[in-house]
Amino acid sequence: MGGTAHRLADLAGLIGGQVEGDPDREVEAIRPLEAAGPRDLSFLNHPRYRAEAVASRAAALLVGRDLAAGLRDGAPARDLLVVAKDADVPLALARLLAVFHAVEPPRPGIHPTAVVEAGCTIDPSAWIGPYAVIGAGATVAARVQVHPHVVLGAGCSVGEGTVLHPHAVLYPGTEVGSGCIVHAGAVLGADGFGYATSGGMHHKVPQVGRVVLERDVEVGAGSTIDRATLGETRIGAGTKIDNLVQIGHNVQTGRHCILCGQSGIAGSTRLGDYVVLAGQAGVSGHIHLGTGVQVAAKSAALHAVEAGQKVAGIPAVELKRWKRQTVLLARLEDMSRRLRALERGASATGGPAGDPEEGGD
């Protein structure tokens, strides 16, 4: 089903690009190469998909300048929406998707079924959806969206333009900065996992700190960020957290970190800026990962990692070293067979055999 038509010339203006072809060509949707039709815009951001781009029925393609040159060589003529570099395509695509799929914000106001306790400050431009609960003394800033069944505990603070999706829970005292997105089922500020063991029993240590999200943080569905024992668990500005991520008490992340699905950070660990944890990566407690560190999928960082390093494995080691170890491990079975053959040959000729630790005469 078609949507609102947009001229390529207008789209180019939005992303700082240029049109090669008909600037008045209109497109109604953005679709993948294989699904696009004659009224659609598609995109190419890697040369491996050139054949699919050539075969696509899309009316026009969003491409970087280098890939555009490749499409002109021996390919059918096609309208192109060209940005300066191939690496610019994802950001340009994001901006265009926001145009084609603009979402009308809810009308400001408080739904009749919402529960708003005493002493709250709610900006008139905010929206409080059905069955949401706003605890005593909470602050909700301008243009905030609180979707159905969200719970804000007492004394929470939510910054301008933040969106809290259904069933998100903010425990008392949690602070969320401006422009954040908290997806469905995320829990911010539950107790950290702290116990004192004595007399054969585990005694709960009260967790009396809080969670702070700085501006432009996104928290994926089902992710959890525990409150500090004392002080703050703090997530740095611009950090993006995938679904099902666990962040322990007293953790401090830098700015613009990427924490992929099912990764986890144990308590009191500190991350520098731009740290990346790939899927199911784990980080031990009370250590520091420097700025720009990248931890590969399913790896376990058990010790501090210096800035800029890429690490992999369990325990995580420098990436190049891990690759060498992986190659050697794959050859281990063959090496074992060869060693046994050498031992048998040595035994047959009267040389030393058996356990190399056993002494001679």
Res 72: pLDDT: 75
Q: Is the pLDDT of residue 118 over 60?
A: yes
Res 360: pLDDT: 44
Q: Which of 74, 100, 126 is the last residue of a domain?
A: 100
Choosing from 149, 167, 183, 249, which is the catalytic residue? Answer: 249
Look up the CATH number of the domain holding residue 41: 3.40.1390.10
User: Which helix or strand (DSSP H or E) is residue 149 part of?
Assistant: none
* Token pair 């899309």: residue: 58
Lowest mean pLDDT among 16-30, 274-288, 321-335, 347-361: 347-361
Closest CA to 131 of 144, 147, 149: 149
* Shared domain check, 115 and 68: no
Task: Label residues 198-213 b or e (16+ Cβ within 10 Å = b).
Answer: eeeeeeeeebebbbbb
Q: Is the pLDDT of residue 1 over 50?
A: no
* Shared domain check, 137 and 92: no
* Shared domain check, 283 and 178: yes
* Shared domain check, 135 and 19: no
What one-character DSSP code corresponds to residue 261?
T
Q: Identify whether the C-beta of residue 295 lies closer than 8 Å to the C-beta of residue 277.
A: yes
Q: Tens digit of pLDDT for each residue in 2-45?
A: 578 999 999 999 999 999 999 999 999 999 999 999 999 999 99
CA–chain centroid gap for 51, Å, is 30
* Shared domain check, 296 and 189: yes
Query: What is the spatial distance between Cα 206 and Cα 323, in angstroms, rounded to a whole number?
Result: 44
* Shared domain check, 272 and 141: yes
* Shared domain check, 161 and 300: yes
Q: How much is the average pLDDT of 160-185?
A: 99
DSSP sequence for 169-232: EE-TT-EE-TT-EE-TT-EEEEPP--EEEETTEEEEPP---EEEE-TT-EE-TT-EEEPPSSSE
Taking every pair of Cα atoms in the chain, the longest distance, rounded to a whole number of angstroms, is 94
Closest CA to 148 of 168, 125, 122: 168
In terms of pTM, does the model score above 0.75?
yes
Q: How much is the average pLDDT of 255-264?
A: 99
Q: Tens digit of pLDDT for each residue in 68-114?
A: 988 877 666 789 999 999 999 999 999 999 999 998 999 999 999 99
Q: Is residue 136 part of a domain?
A: yes
Instruction: Note if 249 is an active site residue.
Output: yes
Q: Is the pLDDT of residue 269 over 50?
A: yes
* Shared domain check, 212 and 113: yes
DSSP sequence for 155-183: T-EE-TT-EE-TT-EE-TT-EE-TT-EE-
* Shared domain check, 283 and 198: yes
Confidence category of residue 343, pLDDT binned at 50, 70, 90: confident
* Shared domain check, 41 and 88: yes
Residue with more model confidence, 347 or 68? 68
Look up the CATH number of the domain holding residue 290: 2.160.10.10
What one-character DSSP code corresponds to residue 2?
-
Q: Is residue 186 part of a domain?
A: yes
In which domain, by residue range, is 164 found?
109-318
| Residues 6+ away with beta carbon under 8 Å from 73 | none
Q: Is the pLDDT of residue 359 over 50?
A: no
Q: Tens digit of pLDDT for each residue in 286-329?
A: 999 999 999 999 999 999 999 999 999 999 999 999 999 999 98
Instruction: Name the 3-class secondary structure at 36.
Output: coil
Q: Tens digit of pLDDT for each residue in 181-226?
A: 999 999 999 999 999 999 999 999 999 999 999 999 999 999 999 9
Confidence category of residue 349, pLDDT binned at 50, 70, 90: confident
Provide the pairing of β-strand 218-219 with 181-182: parallel
